[in-house]
Structure 1
Amino acid sequence: MDAVNPATGERIATYEADSQADVEAALARADDAFEAWRERPLREREELLAVAGDVLRENEREYARLMTEEMGKPISQAVSEVEKCAWVCDHYAEHASAYLQPEGHPSPPGADVQTVYEPLGPVLAVMPWNFPFWQVFRFAAPYLTAGNVGLLKHASNVPGCARAIADVFEEAGYPDGVFQTLLVGSDAVDDVLADDRVRAATLTGSGPAGRAVASTAGQELKKTVLELGGSDPFVVLDDADLDEAAETGAWARNLNGGQSCIAAKRFVVHADVYDEFVERFVDEVDSLTVGDPTDEETEVGPQASADLLADLHEQVRASVEAGATVLTGGEPMDREGAFYPPTVLADVPEGCPADSEELFGPVAAVFEVDDEAEAVEKANDTAFGLGASVWTADRERGRRVARDIDAGCTYVNQLVKSDPRVPFGGVGVSGYGRELSEPGIKEFVNRKTLWVE
């Protein structure tokens, strides 16, 4: 597997892919490790997770540099990602015991009835390149602490990150086999998932990848959690603080080069403030610093590969041909590397890519609506249902509109984000299941009824 720097096109390193024999050995280690790990006291598992958080902090610059080199994330955002991974370790190190506390139920005199939470076994995690550390720790922190063991199949363009994450758990003192990285291609996923020793799977990625994993897991009757794509609406109502909405919206669309499932993608703006918002929004987008991702001042780096840039530009080109207007950006940048400028499209026709598809890059589509009801209708005019953001000076109005939008997580006067303290996930073609908080740690456990007479 080659790791290629998208800012320069240069090959950073080459990693030897795991053979079929390597995968078989990893599965055997995971199976063996689970039997002892599940019996390890929960408090000890929490303590090890706290150490993993310490390891992340001690090496944050090294891990951040690796992310920047392999997928182009601006270095300041990469440092923040490592810090967030340490945070999720801290969270479950502190709260796992409370989350997994047995729950009592009404029972007849002389009986004690509880639900207890027991781990399932080895869990396969198929993870993407866009947040190469966070996506992994988002599953590993709760699932391992609940007593499961993890097998990571990471994206093929971030093999160094995949290896580094395995090193974090090893350095923290986790037993051999509790967390392992499989350096394999996507064609190996079905066989691993079908193996009897693998008990469940979680995937963050594209719709086709999610359907493939869900299909195989369904045939094998194995639990899955899927976090797939999104086309999140960013609704600006007529009483919104336009300066704050424009500033936050520009960041919500272009963070991580726009390569985020929960990025704001469709800006749905009330007609009474449309012109003023769009002017401010374009100014904010134009003010973003695009450049070398190793520079601390850079806000938008390259796309993760030249192929991804080409796919994004084809969606923009098709949308413009259909009638969309480019307000800023719209063409690949004339410089070395896979750089695409922050772009804003207006007058977006119904059914064109900018309207109906996920644009996984720094391209915002702006839509004008006449009233609140039409704003909700446009926000829900998508097969996706991951997140949504609503902007208004009236908190109760915001709460009402947010409740009417079909999404797994809705935010009022805030960008959509994942946070260890609250559940995260989507509906529709954005997937199912929840990560983080208490629901996240309980996705891959046996909720066993224990009746003692």
Structure 2
Amino acid sequence: MSKQLKTLSPIDGSEYVVRDYATTAQIEATLARAAAAQKAWKRTPLEERMALCSRMVDAFVARKDEIALELCWQMGRPIRYAAGEVGGLEERARYMISAAAEALQPIQLPEKTGFSRYITREALGVVFVIAPWNFPYMTAVNAIIPAILAGNSVILKHSAQTPLCAERFAEAFAAAGLPEGVFQYLHLAHGDTQGLIQDERISHVCFTGSVPGGEMVERAAAGRFIGVGLELGGKDPAYVRADADLDHAVETTVDGAFFNSGQSCCGIERIYVHESLYERFVEQAVALVKAYKLGRSDDPDTTLGPVVRASAADFIRGQVSEAVAAGAVAHIDAADFPLDAPGSAYLAPQVLTNVNHGMRVMTEETFGPVVAIQKVSSDEEALALMNDSEFGLTASVFTRDIDAGVAIGEQLETGTFFINRCDYLDPALAWTGVKNSGRGCTLSSVGFEHLTRPKSFHLKTEI
């Protein structure tokens, strides 16, 4: 296979980044540095770790415009939205820094005469983070900052579509004064990625990506008895109840479906609407989607950029064509979006109705600018359909009756439940999934538990 990583920009298919893959010697040196550096880093006072991570965020945010432009060219997000990725990283990182002192504090047990008892949170060692291209900074930071705060060292392997993201992390940590070896990155081929997981110096793996990718990580880690965090995407549903604020529900779910060209693990891909609102919801949703401007990501007027590559666009087209052949109704004419063409990464948005769960578009992750809308007659029907999925990352209900919405949420098989919003990650809440959306947790105080191990101290103080 090629010894070079080549990133083709979805904007025009040009070669945007070329990097050599890491050699065996470079991989070995990186592992050795990470293992050695972690031994000293875990003894560094937490206050110093927090201050250093804060300086790293400052250094990163200072390059916001440059980073946004690179992101636009690497994975196709419209330039008008690209800087939001920097804001999202800052929000998550600063929250985790503020939460670290309490989350990593020893647990003191009730007094027991003659004994001192407490539980500490111990660093795991070297954490291997494998990050995706779709939200390349915000997904990676979920693991990187808390891992380093907890006293681990980190090796980052970023997507071949967004290799500059790994380099920008490294530059920001270097500017902040992080000791050498505590954070490093490697540009790796697939076989070398598996080999790294199997190395005895890797103590934990954080992976965000596809289900097949997660299966690879689990196979590579089998028998090593290390922690593996897997965030594997979703087929996230929304339910619009009869009492919902219709305008708000339409605006929020359409944005949740089409932001980032639908390339979000927690994006809305299927919407269930109560029959009393169904016709009006579809009419308003279609009108809103028709207002998107499909164009080059570096054009400030563009509101819908290309998907990441032409093959992804053709997969999505195939899913839509198959649904239409099975009876679905497509409400958007691709001719209204002239850049759309087979073999192109530019893809018209699509709204489908007359859909059912016999269609792949309702059960298989689409990861593109397509949303399917199905009519329902009751909460019970909506709940059954929402749970009828191999995924369970997020789910949303739109309603004015919060108690009724919570009652539905308590029965949904999902990692995060929303009422009257969607497609948002609050860093104070645990980010987790069920079923094929993965396992483990990042963010919140709970996220630190997955990047540390408990160690119990049982001291007899009176003899």
**Following TM superposition, by how much is the alpha carbon of 1:331 offset from its aligned partner in structure 2, in angstroms?**
7.8
Once the two structures are superposed, what CA deviation does each residue of 1:224-270 show, in whole Å capped at 9, x if it has no partner?
Answer: 11100200111100010110100111100011110001001110111
Corresponding residue of 1:25: 29
Equivalent residues in 2 for 1:46-85, closer than 5 Å: 46-85=50-89
2:369 maps to which of 359, 362, 365: 362
Corresponding residue of 1:424: 431
**Following TM superposition, by how much is the alpha carbon of 1:24 offset from its aligned partner in structure 2, in angstroms?**
0.9
Shift in CA distance, 404/330, structure 1 to aligned 2, threshold 3 Å: farther
Query: Within 2, Cα distance between the matches of 1:77 and 1:113?
Result: 51
8 A Cα contact 2:294 2:339, kept in partner: no
Shift in CA distance, 143/329, structure 1 to aligned 2, threshold 3 Å: farther
Corresponding residue of 1:403: 410
Matched position secondary structure for 1:133: helix
Corresponding residue of 1:347: 354
May I ask how many residue pairs the two structures share in their alignment? 453
**Following TM superposition, by how much is the alpha carbon of 1:332 offset from its aligned partner in structure 2, in angstroms?**
11
1:8 maps to which of 12, 27, 30: 12
Corresponding residue of 2:311: 307
Matched position secondary structure for 1:238: coil
Equivalent residues in 2 for 1:60-139, closer than 5 Å: 60-106=64-110, 108-139=112-143
8 A Cα contact 2:155 2:186, kept in partner: yes
8 A Cα contact 2:146 2:451, kept in partner: no
1:164 maps to which of 168, 179, 197: 168
**Following TM superposition, by how much is the alpha carbon of 1:349 offset from its aligned partner in structure 2, in angstroms?**
3.2
Corresponding residue of 1:288: 292
Matched position secondary structure for 1:15: strand
Query: Within 1, Cα distance between the matches of 2:61 and 2:212?
Result: 35
Corresponding residue of 1:270: 274
8 A Cα contact 1:81 1:131, kept in partner: yes
Query: Within 2, Cα distance between the matches of 1:201 and 1:242?
Result: 42
Query: Within 1, Cα distance between the matches of 2:429 and 2:32?
Result: 35
Greater CA drift, 415-424 or 26-35: 415-424
Query: Within 2, Cα distance between the matches of 1:216 and 1:451?
Result: 36
Corresponding residue of 2:229: 225
Task: Name the amino acid aligned to 1:361.
Answer: G
Once the two structures are superposed, what CA deviation does each residue of 1:52-90 show, in whole Å capped at 9, x if it has no partner?
Answer: 110121101111111111000112322011111122222
Query: Within 2, Cα distance between the matches of 1:107 and 1:94?
Result: 29
Task: Name the amino acid aligned to 2:269.
Answer: K
Corresponding residue of 1:40: 44
Q: When the two structures are superposed, what TM-score results if normalisation uses the length of structure 2? A: 0.95
Which runs of no fewer than 5 residues in structure 1 stay unpaired? none
How large is the Cα RMSD of the aligned pairs? 1.5
2:457 maps to which of 447, 450, 453: 450
Greater CA drift, 158-167 or 404-413: 158-167
Shift in CA distance, 169/156, structure 1 to aligned 2, threshold 3 Å: same
8 A Cα contact 2:8 2:14, kept in partner: yes
8 A Cα contact 1:52 1:89, kept in partner: no
8 A Cα contact 1:56 1:83, kept in partner: no
Query: Within 2, Cα distance between the matches of 1:77 and 1:24?
Result: 39
Query: Within 2, Cα distance between the matches of 1:113 and 1:296?
Result: 59
Q: Does 1:186 align with 2:193?
A: no
Query: Within 1, Cα distance between the matches of 2:336 and 2:136?
Result: 25
8 A Cα contact 1:6 1:338, kept in partner: yes
Corresponding residue of 1:439: 446
Once the two structures are superposed, what CA deviation does each residue of 1:111-169 show, in whole Å capped at 9, x if it has no partner?
Answer: 12111101000011111100111111111111111111111111111112222222111
2:246 maps to which of 200, 222, 242: 242
Query: Within 1, Cα distance between the matches of 2:126 and 2:101?
Result: 21
1:325 maps to which of 322, 329, 337: 329
Query: Within 1, Cα distance between the matches of 2:380 and 2:28?
Result: 55
8 A Cα contact 2:294 2:337, kept in partner: no
Equivalent residues in 2 for 1:373-392, closer than 5 Å: 373-392=380-399
Matched position secondary structure for 2:397: strand
Task: Name the amino acid aligned to 1:209.
Answer: G
**Following TM superposition, by how much is the alpha carbon of 1:108 offset from its aligned partner in structure 2, in angstroms?**
3.1
Query: Within 2, Cα distance between the matches of 1:398 and 1:381?
Result: 18
Matched position secondary structure for 2:127: strand
Once the two structures are superposed, what CA deviation does each residue of 1:344-376 show, in whole Å capped at 9, x if it has no partner?
Answer: 111113322111101100100111111111010
Query: Within 2, Cα distance between the matches of 1:394 and 1:10?
Result: 51
Q: Percent of aligned positions with the same letter in both sequences?
A: 34
Q: Does 1:316 align with 2:320?
A: yes
Once the two structures are superposed, what CA deviation does each residue of 1:5-38 show, in whole Å capped at 9, x if it has no partner?
Answer: 1011111231111111111111111111111111
Corresponding residue of 1:213: 217
Query: Within 1, Cα distance between the matches of 2:326 and 2:67?
Result: 43
**Following TM superposition, by how much is the alpha carbon of 1:330 offset from its aligned partner in structure 2, in angstroms?**
5.8
Q: When the two structures are superposed, what TM-score results if normalisation uses the length of structure 1? A: 0.97
Greater CA drift, 37-46 or 15-24: 15-24
Shift in CA distance, 132/331, structure 1 to aligned 2, threshold 3 Å: farther
Shift in CA distance, 315/251, structure 1 to aligned 2, threshold 3 Å: same
Matched position secondary structure for 2:351: strand
Once the two structures are superposed, what CA deviation does each residue of 1:274-326 show, in whole Å capped at 9, x if it has no partner?
Answer: 11111111111112232221233322111011111111111112222222110
Query: Within 2, Cα distance between the matches of 1:387 and 1:330?
Result: 30
Query: Within 2, Cα distance between the matches of 1:291 and 1:393?
Result: 37
**Following TM superposition, by how much is the alpha carbon of 1:334 offset from its aligned partner in structure 2, in angstroms?**
4.0
Task: Name the amino acid aligned to 2:453.
Answer: N
**Following TM superposition, by how much is the alpha carbon of 1:107 offset from its aligned partner in structure 2, in angstroms?**
5.5
Matched position secondary structure for 1:225: strand
Q: Does 1:251 align with 2:255?
A: yes
Query: Within 2, Cα distance between the matches of 1:411 and 1:100?
Result: 28
Query: Within 2, Cα distance between the matches of 1:331 and 1:95?
Result: 50
